[in-house]
A and B are shown apart, each in its own frame.
Chain A
């Protein structure tokens, strides 16, 4: 069979999938196969025509397609195989993959190891339960991004954006540049959901009104969106009666969060972390099923693409090793648990075998905090925000201080320092 002796199969070819495949090849995997549902490699990078990609990975400010192109060339040059326009429909716990495309029909393959790199998807109106009618003109920000940047359409002229995730803010700027009027970006929290740099460069620089602590309470219009009602929210995030105002618009974009895309992982029986929505992984990005690895936004939603690629490289490298050895020997496992003001930590398990980078997100914005991993790591930070990922490098020597019996470490954001009272 054509695909009978694949070493590493990578599902998805976005910034995670391509990075994982390249790394797997570098680490000695002979046959690496990418399965991609779109017509070309790159995943969502094609529609991200804005800049800000690769600042850390390449030390250059690239656009999404440029960033993708660099990886795609490397994929081609290193002899990685790719099946495009191919949808993976099922993965089983014994690493059987069912896929389908319009050239070969249903495909079955059983690679020696798998890297999950399916990325994430956007929360929809239904999940948010935005009340009101069901007219045309309600899109997720990512769908609108594809429509504008790939398909060549501007969905509407007068736009309200609910949520201030990065794609939402980027689309606020993009639509303004396209000649549409972005009437408001409405955010339920007291701060934006995405990166500060996007708040400044996409909203403030274009004088787009940002309404914090507000939400959309009703969508109006039978056929096409005609208006939305927005209202201020209280501390409980519920709309306050009497603060409602109607904004006329023809389009409502939603940028209200991303969810790791793990339908295939669930089919395989991979354990998911309810805090991240992605698989529980260890420091090698191996999931709870041996031989199935995961990296990038499928594990947890990153803020920077550079981290997506780096994380996926870990998965790719160890998937290659697994393919060669058949199993991975692991030393003692230490579980990481989120503590005070920490929403989640990835990886969920580490070992003292090598240096490890931890990714964490906080629950609420705080100032002057101290990050701690058990009592072996500490870092002072002036400000932490849910929209910005924390990255902590834990070295092997730091971990060597650990008591041999330690099986669990708490990652926490220490309480803000109380300012000493000024004496009379």
Chain B
């Protein structure tokens, strides 16, 4: 069992934990980031809808909310951050559809509210302009509120980029490390994990859906979080070109959301129903999938159920009526010194850059000495993606490393070289490869590449193939060798 000491321990390797780790690496501070899953960004980050929003189209973003401020402050920071980290960022703009006068009045109110705060660029467009911009949206929409600032990112790649850059600048990271108990001594915490104990002076609790649980480990019960489960469906890339903007439609029933957006990788995502659910239960139900599909058909009536290639569930964390349902948690504990909790609830990705700055400030106030790290480098180089390179560079890359000429995932054209590189950078599981390279994310959903990726993983990690897991822990893919079961019977 290992025993280590550090100044700051960040619990949770989602986008928020990662962005804080990277921000702290600007200073001469010992930082350890622990993540309970086998890779980074596997909680709420990966179930995000990939939108960098500013929320000027929904009532939930009240100007007095701290969360709104974090999102608005983050807006101008996101694009430069993505550039530094060499991860994709694309401005797509948002169209909030208007179907009747009631909706028009709502959006007019929202627009003037946004202008008061200083968010500009919104404009109302008529039906003809909407038709031109998005020919496939429902004819029921008589116009839309257009917000040109909305962008899309790949939240997991952003998180990986942040972690890699943080590591480059001296942060230590530990995966498959789950915090079990925290005890407080005079001037430090002793954090017990499944892999040993970590002594630290400061804790940043960025445990996402488990943030409340972690806070309770130090008897800090300043906040309550209510998990609300949301559903997201992914449509085939063949339809990717049909919609170019993020499209938002006001829901017809409470507890629903109606969002359709292109993703960075050319699929369409649709966000659907929300319902309270047991924390950590990421399962979907038949009814929810049905409602979800009905909803997306309200935006684009031509979609067929056959176009869905995948759907999944994620969590949004809500506060309570006292602080406001849609408020976030970014605060130092009132009871326990040097313990900071962050949970944006949603949209965590959009609020990440400003949250990192604020957490740094909170740590300073709690007594962390922040001395500039002169050797800090803000830029990180993403692994090459063969499919996105021009032919000349493809040739060069394949000449240098033949693995880049071997396509393993046909749907997304992912090569062996990319998979090997992902393993070198830390992927240890099938899902790790999937989120880092997109192998298995296409329309056949890993039907073709799974056995091949398992083989490459086993070879690169020096493990037998039976040890390879889907997502760590007990998720082994191949339970037995051939003839093993028969021999056991005889």
Does A143 touch B at the CB level, under 8 Å? yes
The chain A residue sitting closest to B307, CB to CB, is A127
Does A58 touch B at the CB level, under 8 Å? no
B447→A142 contact, CB < 8 A: yes
A131→B289 contact, CB < 8 A: yes
Instruction: Report B88 CB to chain A, min CB distance, Å.
Output: 20
Which residues of chain B are within 8 angstroms of A156 by Cβ–Cβ distance? 479-480
Partner of B405, one of A103, A146, A178: A103
Of A109-117, A132-140, A329-337, A380-388, the one touching chain B: A132-140
Which residues of chain B are within 8 angstroms of A104 by Cβ–Cβ distance? 405
The answer to whether residues A105 and B450 also contact, given A131-B286, A155-B478, A224-B475 and a CB cut-off of 8 A, is: no
Q: What 0/1 readout, one digit per residue, does chain B (400-440) give for beta carbons within 8 Å of chain A?
A: 00111111001101001000000000000010000000000
Which residues of chain A are within 8 angstroms of B403 by Cβ–Cβ distance? 102
Cα-based distance from A72 to B430 in the complex (angstroms) = 33
Instruction: Report A54 CB to chain B, min CB distance, Å.
Output: 25
A126→B398 contact, CB < 8 A: no
Partner of B399, one of A105, A122, A142: A105
Q: Is the interface of B mostly helix, strand, loop or mixed?
A: mixed
Does A87 touch B at the CB level, under 8 Å? yes
B394→A105 contact, CB < 8 A: yes
A178→B284 contact, CB < 8 A: no
The chain A residue sitting closest to B430, CB to CB, is A136
Which residues of chain A are within 8 angstroms of B410 by Cβ–Cβ distance? 37, 87
Does B445 touch A at the CB level, under 8 Å? yes
Partner of A134, one of B312, B402, B443: B312
Which residues of chain A are within 8 angstroms of B473 by Cβ–Cβ distance? 223
B405→A101 contact, CB < 8 A: yes
Instruction: Report B429 CB to chain A, min CB distance, Å.
Output: 9
Which residues of chain B are within 8 angstroms of A135 by Cβ–Cβ distance? 470, 475
A129→B311 contact, CB < 8 A: yes
Instruction: Report B108 CB to chain A, min CB distance, Å.
Output: 38
B478→A147 contact, CB < 8 A: yes
B405→A136 contact, CB < 8 A: no
B285→A218 contact, CB < 8 A: yes
| A229-268, CB < 8 A from B | 239, 250-251, 263, 266
Does A124 touch B at the CB level, under 8 Å? yes
B455→A151 contact, CB < 8 A: yes
Instruction: Report B100 CB to chain A, min CB distance, Å.
Output: 32
Which residues of chain A are within 8 angstroms of B466 by Cβ–Cβ distance? 153
Which residues of chain A are within 8 angstroms of B395 by Cβ–Cβ distance? 105-106
Which residues of chain A are within 8 angstroms of B475 by Cβ–Cβ distance? 135-136, 223-224
Cα-based distance from A124 to B306 in the complex (angstroms) = 11
B407→A223 contact, CB < 8 A: no
Does B185 touch A at the CB level, under 8 Å? no
A122→B444 contact, CB < 8 A: yes
B282→A121 contact, CB < 8 A: no
B306→A127 contact, CB < 8 A: yes
B402→A129 contact, CB < 8 A: no
A126→B234 contact, CB < 8 A: yes
Which residues of chain B are within 8 angstroms of A30 by Cβ–Cβ distance? none
Instruction: Report B271 CB to chain A, min CB distance, Å.
Output: 16
Which residues of chain A are within 8 angstroms of B406 by Cβ–Cβ distance? 85, 101-102
Cα-based distance from A139 to B482 in the complex (angstroms) = 17
Partner of B450, one of A106, A139, A180: A139
Does B305 touch A at the CB level, under 8 Å? yes
Cα-based distance from A27 to B189 in the complex (angstroms) = 80
The answer to whether residues A179 and B485 also contact, given A136-B470, A224-B475 and a CB cut-off of 8 A, is: yes
Does B476 touch A at the CB level, under 8 Å? yes
Does A93 touch B at the CB level, under 8 Å? no
Which residues of chain A are within 8 angstroms of B480 by Cβ–Cβ distance? 153-157, 180
Q: Which 9 residue pairs across A and B have the least CB separation, nearest first?
A: A179-B485, A102-B405, A126-B310, A136-B470, A124-B445, A87-B407, A223-B474, A136-B475, A105-B398
- Could you list which residues of chain A lie within 8 angstroms of chain B, going by C-beta atoms? 37, 85, 87, 89, 100-106, 121-122, 124-127, 129, 131-137, 139-140, 142-143, 146-148, 150-157, 178-180, 217-219, 223-224, 239, 250-251, 263, 266
Instruction: List 18 contacting pairs A-B, 8 Å CB cutoff, sorted by A.
Output: A37-B410, A85-B406, A89-B413, A100-B394, A100-B398, A100-B407, A102-B405, A105-B395, A124-B309, A127-B306, A131-B286, A132-B284, A133-B283, A143-B447, A157-B480, A179-B485, A224-B475, A263-B238
In the complex, besides A100-B394, A150-B451, A263-B238, 15 extra interface pairs with C-beta distance below 8 angstroms are A101-B405, A105-B394, A105-B398, A105-B405, A124-B309, A125-B445, A126-B309, A127-B445, A133-B281, A133-B283, A136-B475, A153-B478, A179-B489, A219-B283, A263-B411
